[in-house]
Amino acid sequence: MEKLAILGGKPVRPAPISYGRHYIDEDDIRAVTEVLRKGDLTCGPKIRELEEKLCRITGARYCVAVSSGTAALHIAAMAAQIGPGDEVITTPITFAASANCVLYCGGRPVFADIDPATYNIDPDSIRACITPRTRAVIAVDFTGQAVRLDEIREICREHHLTLIEDAAHAIGTRYKGRPVGSLSDMTAFSFHPVKTVTAGEGGAVTTDSRELYDRLVLARSHGITRDRSQMVHPTDDPWYNEQAGLGYNYRMTDFQAALLISQLDKLPLFSRRRGEIVRRYDRAFRAMPQIQVQEEIPESDTTRHLYILRLRSHTLRCSRREFFDALHGENIYSQVHYLPVYWHSYYESLGYPKGLCPNAEAYYREVMSLPLFYSMTDGDAESVIAAVKKIVDYYRK
Ligand SMILES: *Cc1c(COP(=O)(O)O)cnc(C)c1O
């Protein structure tokens, strides 16, 4: 039996579409099977090749590939030497991993509010959060748009803070013409399948600092080194390696690296297509006073990861939940990015109160993410626009 749309009639889309979808082609499959047939499965040459490729794309001097974006953030926080008593400022409108990495190190995340127009962390709010215990800032390029890096770098310089950029959404984005990955002390990437390019699971940290790079490499693999210059007790024994610190096993496999190398070849294509869909949505939604379109700073040339539909609630007779359900009824499977991190019950149990960041909380109540991925057709995008228009027309005041 055909399902009926919640608002009556047939759903605008006959088949469901979700907010994100990875894209794998025959080149990707060939790259992976080649490694499986004849390559090393881990710690082999594909890792080095991937790291060199990410350095070329981002303009960074060093790169460390790891098993996830979360691992990337964790080793970046370790390299920044975050520990008990330290505070690290980040945004609440992000995936929990951006703040969890501070907790892994025994530090305390401090949440600065967002800019209500761009949804990125507000530099003035960062300033207001600084205390004598502040050690670092984790700035998230939310939806792929670069944060206000000039202002944030200046704050970090003034207060001697390490700047970690969480660019899980932002591979391919440029700020003032320079690629994300070469603009902060360390930049963390994620290559989970919902992100713009994927390794299945994977992540990386880029940096220009040799000292940070050495710490990142140690943290990735148990803190064990074969480099005599890093040993407390160097010997000539050929088997000798030394655990010089405490690390983890955060290594990526070579077949994942091969997949990502192949995916990165398509990054310009992915960026362009995502941009086309964003412009199509923006044009349509700017004509609807019930919708707030995300503002872009002119410095950011963005490879967009997420498209945020924000309702101007006072112009509609429905809640966000009703709008979300109606979209689902039209076969558009949306998602909400994100619950303010400190609203999670775990953060509540650590003593974070509601009301900390009013702009972030107001944002959360009005948003959902629309489909945005490379293989969408113009027809897909038009059907999403038609569904939004149908729901807006139904609920408008
Ligand atoms: C996806 C994501 C992460 C975590 O990456 P994983 O690869 O899933 O571990 C961290 N921060 C942000 C902003 C993300 O979107």
Query: For the chain, what are the domain ranges?
Result: 26-265, 267-395
Main-chain phi, psi angles of 11, to 5 degrees: -60, 145
**Quick check: CB of 69 below 6 Å from ligand 1?**
yes
Count Cβ atoms below 10 Å from residue 172 Cβ, excluding itself.
Answer: 26
CA atoms within 13 A on the CB side of 245: 18
Quick one: pLDDT band at residue 8, thresholds 50, 70, 90? Answer: confident
Provide, rounded to the nearest whole percent, the portion of the chain with pLDDT above 70.
Answer: 99
Fold classified for 26-265: Aspartate Aminotransferase; domain 2 (3.40.640)
**Quick check: CB of 20 below 6 Å from ligand 1?**
no
Q: What is the pLDDT of the chain when averaged over all its residues?
A: 96
Distance CA 29, CA 268 (A): 19
Architecture of domain 267-395: Alpha-Beta Complex (3.90)
* Average pLDDT of span 72-86: 98
Quick one: pLDDT band at residue 1, thresholds 50, 70, 90? Answer: very low
pLDDT in tens, 261-279: 999 999 999 999 999 999 9
pTM value surpassing 0.85: yes
Specify the ligand 1 atom closest to the Cα of 94.
13
Please say if the pLDDT value at position 4 is more than 90. no
Is residue 145 within 8 A of residue 120, CB to CB? The reply is: yes
Find the DSSP H helices in the chain: 26-38, 45-58, 69-79, 97-104, 123-129, 149-159, 210-220, 254-265, 267-286, 320-329, 345-349, 358-364, 378-395
Give the Å distance between the CA of 294 and the centre of ligand 1.
21
**Quick check: CB of 331 below 6 Å from ligand 1?**
no
Please say if the pLDDT value at position 287 is more than 80. yes
Give the Å distance between the CA of 20 and the centre of ligand 1.
14
Probe target for ligand 1 pocket from 19, 66, 95, 248, with the most ligand atoms within 8 Å of CB: 95
Residue ID of nearest Cα to ligand 1 atom 7: 69
Q: Is the peptide bond before 338 cis (omega within 30 degrees of 0)?
A: yes
For the chain, state the CA radius of gyration.
22
What residue type is assigned to position 104 of the chain?
Y
